[in-house]
Amino acid sequence: MDLAKQNGAKHAAKASGLDGVVVADTALSEVDGERGRLIVGGHDIEALAGKVGFEDLCGLLWTGALPDAATRGAIAAALAEGRALAFEQIPSLEETLTAEDGSAALLSCVAHFGARAAWRSEGQRGWVELAHVTGAVATFAAAWARRRSGSTPIAPDAALGHAADFLRMVRGAAETEAAARALDAYLVTVADHGMNASTFTARVVASTGSDLVSAIAAAIGALKGPLHGGAPGPVLDMLDAIGDPSRAAAWIAAELAAGRRIMGMGHRIYRVRDPRAAVLERAISELERDGSAGAGARLALARATERAAEAQLAERHPDRPLKANVEFYTAVLLDAVGLPRELFTPTFAVGRAAGWCAHVEEQRRAGRLIRPASRYIGPIPTA
């Protein structure tokens, strides 16, 4: 038997995509795709999003418990320091900030931060280091959006919470509390989600003993791929194309007949509706109640589109549930708080950075190099 066949027999064909392969023990989050349950640090996501702030969620992921008031204040201050440290570097990043793609710009800025940041020489470790890097991601994402729209980057304000300050750094206006609250709920919702591709990437880099910033830059590289963090922009394009709830069913039917996928529907793990979709839908409803212009109309359109897509996908795939995923209502929420669609994936990174950092710390503690095997299917030289 040749080597390829032997190896094939040894490693039955599970390797493609690593579906179902357990690569780490984690206390950070658990995704139950059958029941549609997401647990983060021992809490259901429904008990966190809209109930605790992003600073609390960082505390939960980085210290193992929801923080008391003093720790929460210290985390908020360290995130603000990270935003400020990153802002000091903006003058030397002018060229990077003109990149066409926001995630590419973010990746380069974060790598630059790793090479230059003052905190490295101060030997920061523990969650302060995590907070500085997480804070920096927000400043760089906002600065890219400003540059893209031809405006000047805005300095961070340490007096504001992370979500509110990010929104202000992007939009340049004093933000309504309601919009900041909705964005805060979004950042909490997406902060961690099991062993997704970018989190795995961060852990692989961390497992080599490399530094935190290298792991986060690599994770951004994974997130920017369209199969991972790139769907919310296209969801908004779809809603724009449909325009009115009465046209949703016909538009979806035409799209499926043309063999195209409906963005924001389906998930590799969930076999029921993604619980994060419901959490974000609730946050948008609250925003609508608080009077955000346009949130209500867009929400009604999104709901009608989801209903039409779910029904038609169920008809076409009776054995494969295809329901709304997190990206569906992400698009509606981020649009409603006034973020431009090209900033959606970098904004995902603003929230997910907290989870990546926590996984890097956890991987450092595990202390074992991640080094899987491959199955050689090439030719064997004859002796």
Q: Give the residue among 332, 353, 299 at the shortest CA–CA distance from 232.
A: 332
Of 308, 240, 241, 232, nearest to 263 by C-alpha is 232
Interface pick for ligand COA out of 266, 346, 351, 355 (rule CB under 6 A): 266
Q: Which among 360, 346, 313 is positioned nearest to 99, based on CA atoms?
A: 346
| DSSP string covering 141-204 | HHHHHHHHTT-------TTS-HHHHHHHHHH-SPPPHHHHHHHHHHHHHHS--SS-HHHHHHHH
Q: Please give the structure tokens belonging to residue 100.
A: 């066409």
Q: Is 261 in the site for ligand COA (CB under 6 A)?
A: yes
Among 175, 306, 327, 361, which one carries the catalytic annotation? 327
Minimum CB distance to ligand COA smaller for 142 or for 265: 265
- Contact call for residue 14 and ligand COA (CB under 6 A): no
From residue 222 to residue 241, the character string flagging contacts with ligand COA as x (rule: CB under 6 A) and all else as - is: -----x---x----------
- Rule CB under 6 A: which of 321-350 touch ligand COA? 322, 325-327
- Within a 10 A sphere around the Cβ of 259, how many other Cβ atoms? 6
Give min distance, CB of 71 to ligand COA, in A. 32
Of 31 and 169, the one with the shorter C-beta distance to ligand COA is 31
Cβ closer to ligand COA: 3 or 21? 21
Cβ 296 to ligand COA, closest distance in Å? 24
The encoded tokens of residue 270 equal: 């969930």
How many whole angstroms separate alpha carbon 377 and alpha carbon 4? Answer: 5
Distance of alpha carbon 347 from alpha carbon 222, whole angstroms: 15
Instruction: For residue 244, give both structure tokens.
Output: 């009115």
Q: Is 18 in the site for ligand COA (CB under 6 A)?
A: no
Catalytic (active site) residue 281: no
Query: Using CB under 6 A, which of 59, 264, 351, 355 touches ligand COA?
Result: 264
β pairing state of 43-44 and 37-40: antiparallel
- Residue 88 is a catalytic residue: no
Which residues, numbered 31-50, are part of the site for ligand COA (CB under 6 A)? none
Q: Which of 300, 317, 376, 377 binds ligand COA (CB under 6 A)?
A: 317
Q: Using CB under 6 A, which of 58, 160, 263, 287 touches ligand COA? A: 263
Cβ-contact 192, 352 below 8 angstroms: yes
Shortest distance in whole angstroms from residue 245 CB to ligand COA: 19
Residues with a known catalytic role: 267, 327
Where along the sequence are the contacts to ligand COA (CB under 6 A)? 227, 231, 261-268, 313, 317, 320, 322, 325-327
